[in-house]
Amino acid sequence: MTITLPLALDALVARKMASGMYENEGEVVREALRQMEFRESALGLLHQEAASGFDQLDRGDSIEMDRDTFVNHFRRRRQAV
């Protein structure tokens, strides 16, 4: 597979390799794709949780959570998937 990148992204790949964290361009691209997949998965779960939460609010079936409780709840749900 051959990929042509815009100059700015090509420079980013070069900087990542120069940092010593990656040995070649393929490693940089693979890590970027892994990060993209993780982010998309997390966003999908967040959308599901939000839709479920709005449905519960519409039914009048809700509980209050502070920020830390919500974040911990979300992380547990994310790990279970």
Whether residue 78 is predicted with pLDDT greater than 90 in this model: the reply is no
Residue located via tokens 């994310």: 78
Structure tokens at 54: 């709005």
pLDDT-derived band at 81 (thresholds 50, 70, 90) equals low
- Cβ proximity of 63 and 73 under 8 Å: no
**Alpha-carbon separation of residue 64 from 15, 77, 80 (angstroms):** 45, 18, 22
Predicted confidence (pLDDT) per residue in 18-28, tens digit? 999 999 999 99
What pTM did the predictor assign?
Answer: 0.64
Predicted confidence (pLDDT) per residue in 17-73, tens digit? 999 999 999 999 999 999 999 999 989 988 988 898 899 889 988 888 899 998 898
